Amino acid sequence: MVRKICIILVFILSTLTLGCSQKESKPLVVPSEYQHAKDMLDHLHKEGLGIQEINNSKYTALFNTNPNYSMFIKTDMGIFELVHLERKNGKEIDIQEAADNGEYKYVISENGVDQLLILGSENYFNKSDEYITIARNKNLNDKIKQALKAL
């Protein structure tokens, strides 16, 4: 009888421990001003990117997007920018690194017009027809790249 009680207690304790240690995946809440990118944000979240905060980005003018189409996203792995190309013109945009004297320079070309982007640290770019991502951290960029392959 005591043995059965001990077995039951061990079972209950192990079930409680396993239940408490599993991370519950909460649905991502996307603010209304970023609903245009909800599918992409949901996809990144489902692929394991813990999105914590979404704000406007400074890249709106550089990529000629509508307000709120360039997003500054804070995640559990760092910060990245997500630019939603509403005209789906990603094939027309070329991004090349132009490192010079330890500075991180990037030339962004679109329809024959070049713009120079000078950043304080190395950045990593991913591009599709509809989105451009700009990450400041290689591990974060690798995670984003992996998620984008699953699309």
For the stretch 98-149, pLDDT in tens is: 867 778 999 999 999 999 999 989 999 999 999 999 999 999 999 999 999 9
> How sure is the predictor about 4, in pLDDT bands with cuts at 50, 70 and 90?
low
Q: Name the amino acid, one letter, at 36.
A: H
Q: Is the dihedral of CA 29, 33, 35, 40 positive or negative?
A: negative
Sequence ranges of the domains in the chain: 28-149
> How sure is the predictor about 8, in pLDDT bands with cuts at 50, 70 and 90?
low
Query: What is the pTM for the complete model shown?
Result: 0.81
What's residue 102's pLDDT?
Answer: 79
> Three-state secondary structure along 2-68?
HHHHHHHHHHHHHHHHHHHHCCCCCCCCCCHHHHHHHHHHHHHHHCCCCEEEEEECCCCCCCCCCCC
